[in-house]
């Protein structure tokens, strides 16, 4: 495990991506990005994220927003039922926490629209807390690397969750660095179709290649 963890960080330059939402530790800006990124490609989110923060720069402005206007802004992303989450989450945080984000997973999970993944990202990025984070990409990488041969919806598989937990606990870096590194690795190298084995820094230890 320390091997894959180390390799993913050290070869970061091979698959580095950069996004605006990675330059903030403001939980509000992180939450907005994560809402938009659910089942959605990051490049697709870029212009929408800019538009959204321009109109709704802080949590108070969203709490007073017109949901129809939010829906209009995020329409290019699909999954339009998400538009309600933005306002409900903002209202909830203002009502329960006077506008200041809580820093425990238990509390974060009570925020409308915030599930296991978004809560984990907020903890890791905004509060530098090492927590288990599993998305469909991370699950795919671990499934392949360790030769688990799982199919279908593998994100909630117990073994995958354990491995991800180990992966993050073995990283001697900010948890967000591991998060961004493995997501970029999975998006650019360990792709769903036609993974790029030729330039993959993990191929020597990866059971999927063999």
Partner DNA sequence: CTCCTGACGG
Partner DNA sequence: CCGTCGGGAG
Residue 184: alpha-carbon gap to chain centroid: 11
Listed ranges 3-11, 13-21, 91-99, 200-208: which one lies at the site for DNA (CB under 7 A): 13-21
> Given the complex with DNA, which of 148 and 187 has the nearer CB atom?
187
Give yes or no for a contact between 109 and 95, defined as CB atoms under 8 angstroms apart. Answer: no
The residues in 94-153 that bind DNA, with binding defined as CB under 7 A, are: 112-119, 121, 135-137, 140
Letters for 147-186 (x = contact with DNA by CB under 7 A, - = none) are: --------xx-----------------------x--x--x
Total residues interacting with DNA, rule: CB under 7 A: 43
Length of the chain: 210
> Given the complex with DNA, which of 3 and 115 has the nearer CB atom?
115
The residues in 27-46 that bind DNA, with binding defined as CB under 7 A, are: 33-34, 37-44
Give the whole-angstrom CA distance, residue 50 versus residue 69: 15
Residue 57: alpha-carbon gap to chain centroid: 21
Give the whole-angstrom CA distance, residue 188 versus residue 165: 22
Give the whole-angstrom CA distance, residue 174 versus residue 152: 31
- Which of these, 177, 117, 60, lies nearest to 108 by C-alpha position? 117
Provide the minimum distance between the beta carbon of 36 and DNA in the complex, in angstroms, as a whole number: 9
Is residue 81 within the footprint of DNA (CB under 7 A)? Answer: yes
Is residue 79 within the footprint of DNA (CB under 7 A)? Answer: yes
Provide the minimum distance between the beta carbon of 97 and DNA in the complex, in angstroms, as a whole number: 17
Give the whole-angstrom CA distance, residue 193 versus residue 23: 30
User: Angle CA(130)–CA(131)–CA(135) in degrees, nearest 5?
Assistant: 130
Q: Which residues of this chain interact with DNA, rule CB under 7 A? A: 17, 19, 21-22, 33-34, 37-44, 75-81, 85, 112-119, 121, 135-137, 140, 155-156, 180, 183, 186-187, 192-193
């Amino acid at each position: 495990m320390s091997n894959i963890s180390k390799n993913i960080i050290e070869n970061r330059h091979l698959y580095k991506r950069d996004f605006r939402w990675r330059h903030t530790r403001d939980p509000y800006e992180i939450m907005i990005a994560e809402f938009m990124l659910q089942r959605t490609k990051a490049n697709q989110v870029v212009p929408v994220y800019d538009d959204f923060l321009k109109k709704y720069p802080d949590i108070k402005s969203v709490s007073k927003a017109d949901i129809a206007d939010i829906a209009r802004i995020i329409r290019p992303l699909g999954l339009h039922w998400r538009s309600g989450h933005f306002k409900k989450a903002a209202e909830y945080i203002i009502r329960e926490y006077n506008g200041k984000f809580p820093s425990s997973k238990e509390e974060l999970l009570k925020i409308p629209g915030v599930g296991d993944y978004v809560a984990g990202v907020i903890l890791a990025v905004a509060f530098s807390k090492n927590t288990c984070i599993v998305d469909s990409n991370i699950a795919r990488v671990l499934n392949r690397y360790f030769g688990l041969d799982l199919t279908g919806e593998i994100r909630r598989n117990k073994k995958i969750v354990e491995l991800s937990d180990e992966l993050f606990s073995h990283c001697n870096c900010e948890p967000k660095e591991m998060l961004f590194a493995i997501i970029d690795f999975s998006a650019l190298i360990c792709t769903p179709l036609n993974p790029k084995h030729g330039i993959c820094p993990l191929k020597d230890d990866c059971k999927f290649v063999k």
